[in-house]
Structure 1
Amino acid sequence: MRLQEKQPHNKNQKTMTLIITKTILVASCLAAAASASPLLRRQSSQGSSLVQDAPLAGDLAGIHLLLNNDLDSNTPKHPVIFLAEARSYKDSRHVCDTLGEDLVNSGNLGFAKDLLDITPIAANDLKKVTRLWVKNADTSSSSCTAFDRKSGDTIQLPCSTHLTALCANTLPRSQIGPDVHTDKTNQIKVRTPHAGTYQGYRDQNQFRFLGIKYAQPPVGRLRFMPPQRMKAGDADKAKDATKYGSVCMQGEYEGDAKPNATYVLYSLGAPENEDCLHLNVFTPTLPSKQGKKGLPVMVYVHGGGFTSFSGSSPVFEPGNLVSRGGVVVVTLNYRLGIFGFFESPPSIPRSKATGNLAIRDQIAALQWVQDNIVAFGGDPDQVTIFGESAGGYSMRALLSVPAAFGLYRNVISQSDLLGIPFSSPKIAGQIGAGLLKYLGCSPSDLACAQSKTADQVRNAEHNATMDVVLADGNEWLMTAGGVYRPTIDGDFFPGDFADLVRTGRYNRKANILWGTTRDEAAAFLPYVFPEPIPLDEKDKALAGYLLEDRTKKLFTSPAYALNKSDNDTIRSELSVAITDLLWACAVQRMSRGTASQHSKVYTYRMDHGRDIYSTFGEPFPPFCRGRVCHADDVIPSFGSGDVKDGTVQTGSDARFSRQVIDRFVTFAKTGNPNPKKKDSGLLGLAERNADVTSVQWPEYVDGEDRVFVFEEITGRVEVGKDTERCQWIEKNVHYDYQVHAPNGKFVPIFP
């Protein structure tokens, strides 16, 4: 996508750069601002003040949140709290009371036997449990009521008997809305090995510890510096983890307007501020002993073109993923835009401003996870990183940077533009130099840039970016998904991913699962071509879309033949062709490369999804109707289709989300997306999902081009369907990482 002529530096002017650098999430979440429907909650607003007598998790000797979560908003979940330590009836009831609950009502236990048999969350603690305390049906009796797992009945035992117990969990699932007031009074503290003590709260699905600083605030002299470790502080003084921390500085807003409260609520989850290096921990379990093996951990890196969104964006609400999957989920913020990618060598050497700050932030968060996640019930040896769009791009970066290799085991990369290379020091340095110029600083005066306000930096960033994008020879950046991308520096970032795959210098030990939605490009084309393109104007309209006449070459392929009876055939076929070029065929090629290096690789395509527009009550984008557009896989991946107050996730939406979550979680637990009998007890509900167990997802084999296709009901496997079309692209058009490699030289295809 290319501007036909240079345009003035007008901050209110809508340029294609600002369109392409933001994912389709931008439009959908902005749309949500107009569609909020109030629905009062029964809970009273408690703010974020800490409860003084909140228990310390370590003192409770193991507590687990269990529910039979089919992801359907309308079915009963029967949530309970399982107390893993054996106690007398009286002591068990006291612990329930400490948590703000009572023992489970003994008259309503029909769900309990099945729930205790299938949960992966407390599998180890439940292995030897045969009886559990529940609430007495007859309070006048000298004996007390226990639930027998084997028979499914209640029995009476002496109250002094030591048993594990089931407390009720009466709290709802977390949602957002202008009139949703979350009850945060049921709080609990966790003491970490290296970061101090945090006090969070509980909902139906998870314990939530929000706004945890994983690095010092990157402000003042730390602006444009690598993240600096936090000091633990007083271990006995609890830090407030009941609300999200500020999100990182966002890209330019429409008309320079600051984000209003509704945009913050639906799109960001918290206000923006330069002090933004926070992460959030969501866990269904708080362990009895920190030395005990914990649950697998999934760390999510958000998308948004490296300019937008945050780890607290509501669409990434992980409660259903946590409770159904039996995993600990971590979401995080990382610096965006120029705050995350500033560099300006040689005027400012890398010894003073290293660059690649966004990726360094992500690595710092992963290091925090290694140091502290055991306290939240997670296993630091079983970490999976995952992300979509720019988050998928980040997965590629973390596969490339040796400093990250020991921090994760599995990678799930969704909708990464694998056809686009990493950035070059030249481009990144030009933006950095331009920033200094527009800030009124000399080329080598880093301290001057650090002294400016965050808004001043953001204002200067726009002009500096447009100078580079509109410069002769840089037009191709319009197709690059944004100018802000990880930069090859030869040290921290040793090379472009294509080069690293060729030479085997990426993280070959990691298990990789990656793929696309069926119609990725359809999300973006209407912003460039708002109306159907008449057939007689095709060449003129498409002339500048890709450089080197590559759009014209694409349309010489019989795979993208035009249907003259369809007045929108050009945009339709262009959507297919660009999806192939930037996403699908690039995934196929990189899968061949990584498989040839003996990596374990699984590829997929989403032929079903859920658009974010309808979730927030807005009309579906017309061009995406009948298509599975970029970001349509986000909601199914989290099961977050009911996160907005007044919305639901039912029927086929819930069923499809179960399929996606069960596959992804199984991969996170075993490095393989197929449930196997040998993993019984670890996988929980995934083992019982016939939509998953009935279809084997094969590992990618070089030369066979196997793709697992997610469909609405179940999946299927394609072998070689796209091979001929992709080979044609590789021969006649080439990928951007080949023709626009960071070193300026053409890159031959590999393998």
Structure 2
Amino acid sequence: MITRRSAIAAGLAGAALPFAARADSYDPQVRTTAGPVVGLRRDGISVFKGVRYGALTRRFQPPERPAPWREPVRATTYGAASPQRGDEANQSEDCLFLNVWTPGTDAARRPVMVYIHGGAYSSGSGSDPLYDGTRLAARGDVVVVTLNHRLNVFGYAYLARLAPGFEDSGNVGQMDLILALQWVRDNIAAFGGDPSRVMLFGQSGGGAKIATLMATPAAQGLFHRAATMSGQQVTASGPINATTRATAWLKAIGLTPDRAAEAATMPVERLLEAQTAEDPILGFGGLYFGPVLDFRTLPRHPFYPDAAPLGRSIPMIIGNTREETLGFMGNDPKNVGLTWETLATRLSPGVMRIDITPEAVIAGYRAMHPDWSPDQVLIAATTAGRSWRGAVIEAEERAKAGAPAWVYRLDFPGEMASGRKGAFHTADIPLVFDNVEAAGSRTRGPGAQALADRMSDAFIALARDGDPNHAGLPPWDRYELPRRQTMLMDVQPRMADDPRGDERAFFSAIPYIQPGT
């Protein structure tokens, strides 16, 4: 019998596919360590959505494996996302689910590409149409996995110094990711994957989560390649700052530090709303919650004072986009008609996020690029001084340690809703997934598919062989000092040594503090 709920579920499953689906002759069934799951076979790809990898976990506590089941469970609709502010449709604290796309549930032992979504540490899920793994799985004969995990206060509120029994609370979101990777290790062979060739890739917050996992002992051996896209984590939040943030959050929900344990039973909506309180460390914006240097799960910073030894043997792609902050600032009415005088006001500490005067930034750029407009300087300076700095540090530290890294800069422009074009934050997602025509993609037009072919094949090559080089790209050299070799990703990709070297040198004189640290 077709019910309203089943009709909606069927509609959602169909909407996630980037092209018209054709049902094959069977629905695949796989037995996981917890129990059997049944997916859908479409266009030569078996798809399993909403596969449970963790139980409904007690708030602020480490995740637990799910209780086993005997009867086959239909895995045809995405699982819930972590509670969060914003418009994510399906939210629940019961959110430890993942999704699998595979060419075959056989013994082929294909490379596995696990995507960790962005949204900083506060929002997002693995069910965005841009993350649909159908085309990538078919293109590269790989297994693609996306996942959900606990975010914001539910994944990273650090209560360890305020209440007994919450010693792990500042990193349970990362512990969820580790549990998901343990599920991949234990189950992915049944989905046609190779547990010894697992690659993590992620954009923005997803990349930062990966960088943190590369310094996390419990994650060692669970993945073997990594690729980060506009997502860096040089340093984690220190335990004192994290406690200060947690105290400010508790105050916003009406609790004193000695009553911190009561947050474990308060309504979800109230906990989320309190996150809008001003951050006491940054002095602007809402409260930041992210990984904490707790000396339990995370014993050191990911890339300070050097690249964490645990991650040095992992081949890694590090990428950013040329006009990164256009994605955050490009549609801001405050930027219309900028002059050199009003630019100084726009380059506030909250925008630059480093300790430098706007006058010094403007003078530096007018000397380096006298032909640039105030608007060009705004986007370039905020990209180079705030977003790109972490990627430069990570690439340089890996080079110093002799760890393999291939660096790219996306130059191909996407188009924003306003019509403005540029290589903004998130523009590389549809290229890497080969989803330039998917719902939500703003990286389209002439040349987009050609570049998607090259970028997705590079990520597939890294997953398969530990090296992103392939016949469709010019030879991609490893990043080394002092050359700083970088692949400029455009319709015609090309290698360049130290692109934006003048901007890099200018900002290298200013100490970099990871936003949130």
Name structure 2 gaps, 5 residues minimum: none
- Alignment of 1:505 with 2:317, yes or no, is no
Of residues 720-729 and 327-336 in structure 1, the stretch that sits farther from structure 2 once superposed is: 720-729
Aligned counterpart, 1:311: 126
**What SS does the aligned partner of 2:326 have?**
helix
Cα separation, 2, equivalents of 1:558 and 1:434? 38
Matched residue, 2:299 = 494
Measured against aligned partners, the alpha-carbon deviations of 1:311-332 in whole angstroms (never above 9, x if no partner) come to: 0111211111110011101100
333, 346, 356: which one aligns with 1:549: 356
Alignment check: 8 A CA contact 1:46 1:183 kept: no
CA contact (8 A) 2:168 2:297 kept: no
1:243 to 77, 83, 107: 77
Deviation at 1:410, TM superposition (A): 0.3
Where does 1:669-684 land on structure 2 (aligned, <5 Å)?
Answer: 669-675=464-470
State whether structure 2 residue 97 is matched by structure 1 residue 278: yes
Are 2:422 and 1:621 equivalent residues in the alignment?
Answer: no
Per-residue Cα deviation, 1:493-515 (whole angstroms, up to 9, x for no partner): 1222332526x534111111111
Answering whether residue 13 of structure 2 is matched by residue 207 of structure 1, we say no
Does the Cα contact within 8 Å between 1:210 and 1:280 map onto a contact in 2? yes
Secondary structure (helix, strand or coil) at the match of 2:202 reads: strand
**1:726 counterpart residue number:** 504
Report the alpha carbon displacement of residue 407 of structure 1 after superposing the two structures with TM: 0.6
What's the counterpart of residue 375 of structure 1?
Answer: 190
SS of equivalent residue, structure 2 residue 394: helix
Residue 703 of structure 1 is matched in structure 2 by 482
**Local SS of the residue matching 2:396:** helix
User: Contact 2:292 / 2:298 at 8 angstroms: preserved in 1?
Assistant: yes
Instruction: Measure, in 2, the Cα distance between the counterparts of 1:563 and 1:702.
Output: 28
Q: Which residue of 1 aligns with 2:271?
A: 457
Matched with 1:395 is 210
CA distance in 1, matches of 2:39, 2:218: 31
Superposition map of 1:347-496 within 5 A: 347-349=162-164, 352-417=167-232, 421-441=235-255, 443-445=257-259, 447-462=261-276, 466-467=277-278, 469=279, 471=280, 474-475=282-283, 483-496=288-301
Q: CA distance change for structure 1 residues 495 and 607 in 2, over 3 Å: closer, same or farther?
A: same
Alignment of 1:53-452 (within 5 A): 175-176=15-16, 186-192=26-32, 194-218=33-57, 222-234=58-70, 237-251=71-85, 253=86, 259=87, 268=88, 271-287=90-106, 292=107, 294-349=109-164, 352-417=167-232, 421-441=235-255, 443-445=257-259, 447-452=261-266
Corresponding residue for residue 653 of structure 1: 448
Cα offset for 1:662?
A: 0.6
Q: Is the 8 A contact 2:125 2:147 kept in 1?
A: yes
Q: Which runs of 4+ in 1 moved over 6 A?
A: 180-185, 645-650
Q: CA deviation at 1:707?
A: 0.3
SS for the counterpart of 1:529 is helix
The one-letter code sitting in structure 2 at the alignment partner of 1:474 is L
Q: 1:697 and 1:644 mapped to 2: Cα distance?
A: 31
For 2:324 and 2:205, locate their aligned partners in 1 and report how far apart those are by CA, in whole Å: 13
Partners of 1:300 and 1:645 in 2: CA distance: 17
Instruction: Indicate how the Cα distance of structure 1 residues 699 and 552 shifts in structure 2: closer, same or farther if over 3 A, else same.
Output: same
In the superposition, the TM-score normalised over structure 2's length comes to: 0.89
Kept in 1, the 8 Å contact 2:105–2:191? The answer is yes
C-alpha displacement at 1:400, in angstroms?
Answer: 1.5
> Does the CA-based 8 Å contact 1:175-1:643 persist in structure 2?
no
Contact kept? 1:206, 1:282, Cα under 8 Å = yes
Which residue in the other structure is 1:36 paired with?
none
Question: Which residue pairs with 1:641 in the alignment?
Answer: 436
> Does the CA contact (< 8 Å) of 1:560 and 1:576 recur in 2?
no
Give the structure-1-normalised TM-score. 0.62
SS of aligned partner of 1:223:
coil
| Alignment partner, residue 472 of structure 2 | 691
Does the 8 Å CA contact 1:295/1:327 hold for their aligned counterparts? yes
Q: What CA distance in whole angstroms lies between the structure 2 residues aligned with 1:541 and 1:512?
A: 35
What SS class does the counterpart of residue 119 from structure 2 fall into? Answer: coil
CA shift at 1:629, angstroms? 0.6
Q: Is 1:717 paired with 2:514?
A: no
CA contact (8 A) 1:344 1:430 kept: no
Contact 2:400 2:481 survives alignment (8 Å): yes
Could you say which structure has the larger radius of gyration?
Answer: 1
Q: Per-residue deviation at 1:377? A: 0.4
- Among 329, 345, 351, the alignment partner of 1:525 is 329
Aligned length: 507
CA contact (8 A) 1:610 1:635 kept: no
For 1:410 and 1:560, locate their aligned partners in 2 and report how far apart those are by CA, in whole Å. Answer: 41
Which one of the candidate residues 491, 512, 516 is aligned to 1:735? Answer: 512
CA offsets per residue over residues 423-452 of structure 1, 9 Å max, x none?
222332233233434444453445522222
* Superposed displacement of residue 551, structure 1: 3.3
In 2, are the aligned partners of 1:205 and 1:319 still within 8 Å (CA)?
A: no
User: Matched residues in 2 for 1:495 and 1:646: separation?
Assistant: 37
SS in 1 for 2:69: coil
- Residue deviations 1:329-367 (CA, integer Å, cap 9, x gap): 110001111111111242224654431122111111111
Give SS of 2:257's match. Answer: coil
Task: Give structure 1 stretches of 5+ with no counterpart.
Answer: 1-44, 51-172, 254-258, 260-267, 614-619, 676-689, 743-751
Higher relative contact order (CA 8 A, sep 6+): 1
SS at match of 1:355: helix
